[in-house]
Chain A
């Protein structure tokens, strides 16, 4: 891992209603905005939309494709736009900085997710250790 390196993209989706139903059950997130179209419309949305945490789970898979899981120290994202039904989710990362912290060589990664229409849905960074 070197500074300014662009990491391999991981693409998931397209998001389906079935996927959201399964994710609601598996993740214990029963917020109805993601699984009940009538509820979502009554709340002023066009339709159900994906859990932010589904994209974050996919971004975790991307992180793990770049470094072994035990090297992830901390990471955070802001959810900057909703992920609509049928969107594909593109998880991307970029090495922003290499530094030393707590006696370890670490990298700060700029990470995020984008829909196929190039709308950024997650915006964050991760701190990982490097060998």
Chain B
């Protein structure tokens, strides 16, 4: 069982991540993307973008690529230490404020906002909110991830 008091309110250190063009192309391939704007720089420019735009769900991947030293869901020493074999993805939310492109550098900060139980503690739900800011400190995107932990 996760100890609510130990984890709720924990804020990660800010993590600087680059939106890598090569990874966006790989993501497009892996998701069967058909719009060339997401894998062809020339098509992106022709459509008026400064570079390949980051697709809608990729903020989740950026966060996974840069696990927090403090408050990470799987980290046993400084995070929640959840066993990978016991997780399910419960919910996912995204909100967008500014478009993000390949080559941008973002700062991610993740807060463990809530932990709640269902079925007498057999299931625990971990709510983590991540925000992404650009170099000017402007909020570009936000996401909420709810992870289900099977304690049974």
Name A's B-contacting residues (CB within 8 A).
12, 19, 22-23, 25-33, 39, 42-43, 51-54, 56-58, 60-61, 63-64, 69-70, 72-79, 82
Interface pairs (5), CB distance under 8 Å = A60-B55, A60-B57, A64-B56, A74-B96, A76-B92
Assembly CA distance A61 to B57 (angstroms): 10
Chain A residue with the shortest CB-CB distance to B53: A69
Stretch at the interface among B4-12, B23-31, B104-112, B114-122: B23-31
**A16: min CB distance to chain B, Å:** 11
- The A contact surface, by secondary structure, is helix
Chain B residues contacting A32 (CB-CB under 8 Å) are 84-85
* Cβ-neighbour of B87 out of A25, A31, A42, A74 (below 8 A): A31
Task: List residues of B (40-87) whose CB comes within 8 Å of A's CBs.
Answer: 53, 55-58, 60-62, 64-65, 84-87
B1 within 8 A of A: no
Chain A residue with the shortest CB-CB distance to B56: A60
A79 pairs with B96, CB closer than 8 A: no
Chain A residues contacting B84 (CB-CB under 8 Å) are 31-33
- The B contact surface, by secondary structure, is mixed
A12 pairs with B32, CB closer than 8 A: yes
**B112: min CB distance to chain A, Å:** 18
Assembly CA distance A25 to B61 (angstroms): 10
* Cβ-neighbour of B85 out of A12, A43, A63 (below 8 A): A43
Q: A63-B56, A69-B56 are in contact. Are A39 and B85 (CB under 8 A)?
A: yes
Chain B residues contacting A57 (CB-CB under 8 Å) are 27, 31, 55-57
Q: A73-B95, A77-B91, A79-B89 are in contact. Are A56 and B30 (CB under 8 A)?
A: no
**A114: min CB distance to chain B, Å:** 17
Assembly CA distance A59 to B58 (angstroms): 13
B90 within 8 A of A: yes
